[in-house]
Amino acid sequence: MSSTNPKTYEPTPARKVAFLGLGVMGYPMAGHLALAGHAVTVYNRTAAKSKAWCEEYAATSGPKHAATPRLAAAGADIVFCCVGNDDDLRSVTLGADGAFAGMQPGAIFVDHTTASADVARELATAAKTLGLQFVDAPVSGGQAGAQNGALTVMCGGEQAAFDNVAPTAAAFSRAFVRLGESGAGQLAKMVNQICIAGLVQGLSEAVAFGMKAGLDMPQVLDVIGKGAAQSWQMDNRGKTMVAGKFDFGFAVDWMRKDLGLVLDEAKRNGARLPVTALVDQFYADVQQMGGQRWDTSSLIKRLG
């Protein structure tokens, strides 16, 4: 996977960093850090992928592969992470081989996983007891945003830790914003996913309606995309939905995981999310159709 799309980096001091998790997001994010001049050590559960990453970025500042999160984190100023869920996050941070055990006092752990606000607070507390700092920093922008170094990052944590990390994170982000204390980043990502769920369902219904009405839907989308109906989803997924193409990154399985976090949090805080709950069940229907790895715009498949 290439992550070398042209990008102009703001000049920042070279730092020693680690990156844990080289999936569709982490792989290019770590690549942008290397291209920005930072010395990057990577860890991935499947070691072959981290070794392949090191080969791809061999021309940068000495990329290295580590066998455990602890070894990857040793001596790093900042440890970045992007894994699957709460349990994956605990597995790479805690325990004898976890990153926290290898980090030097004052080092900062930045978690880009979309996880629960509870685990963000839990790990922030654990880090603090060890003299470490923790920033929850889930991202939006999808695989394309990661590859282009144009992610939006929603952060929670102490101001000093955020200020320390922000110049380095500029390598892969177009917006890197602190929204409050620990957990605030994860809560903001939940807001993001609520918005997306409703937008994609509305766009699915609109496209399906227009196709059944016999309209030239690419032309219709061009027209209404210049008015109040315009959205990122329409601009980037409308015509691919018409074409029946659903291989554009963020998968239905991941969206269901995220919406599960949203609905669990809503039970705790009393928020009423009737549309989100309904769309979550619609995504369950898509999973039953075999669409676990289709992208989220595949909601329209239910309406065919």
Q: Which amino acid is at 230?
A: Q
CB 287 within 8 A of CB 255: no
Whether residues 172 and 191 share a domain: the answer is: no
Q: Is residue 12 scored above 80 in pLDDT?
A: no
Whether residues 92 and 148 share a domain: the answer is: yes
- Angle of CA points 85, 86, 87, to nearest 5°: 95
Report the number of secondary-structure helices (H) and strands (E) in the chain.
13, 9
Distance separating alpha carbons of residues 76 and 135, to the nearest angstrom: 15
Q: Is residue 159 scored above 80 in pLDDT?
A: yes
Domain C-terminal end among 149, 181, 213: 181
**pLDDT tens string 36-91:** 999 999 999 999 999 999 999 999 998 999 999 999 999 999 999 999 999 999 99
Whether residues 107 and 29 share a domain: the answer is: yes
Say what the pLDDT of residue 197 is: 97
* Catalytic-residue membership of 212: no
Length in residues, the chain: 304
Strand partners for 245: none
**pLDDT tens string 90-136:** 999 999 999 999 999 999 999 999 999 999 999 999 999 999 999 99
Domain encompassing residue 157? 16-181
Whether residues 113 and 205 share a domain: the answer is: no
* 260 found inside a domain: yes
Distance separating alpha carbons of residues 301 and 265, to the nearest angstrom: 28
Whether residues 65 and 174 share a domain: the answer is: yes
Catalytic residue among 49, 128, 189, 239: 189
* 242 found inside a domain: yes
Q: Is residue 6 scored above 50 in pLDDT?
A: no
CB 286 within 8 A of CB 265: no
Q: Is residue 216 scored above 90 in pLDDT?
A: yes
| pTM score of the predicted model | 0.93
Number of separate domains in the chain: 2
Say what the pLDDT of residue 249 is: 76
Instruction: Show the tokens assigned to 262.
Output: 């949203």
Measuring CA to CA, which residue among 269, 264, 271 is closest to residue 280? 264
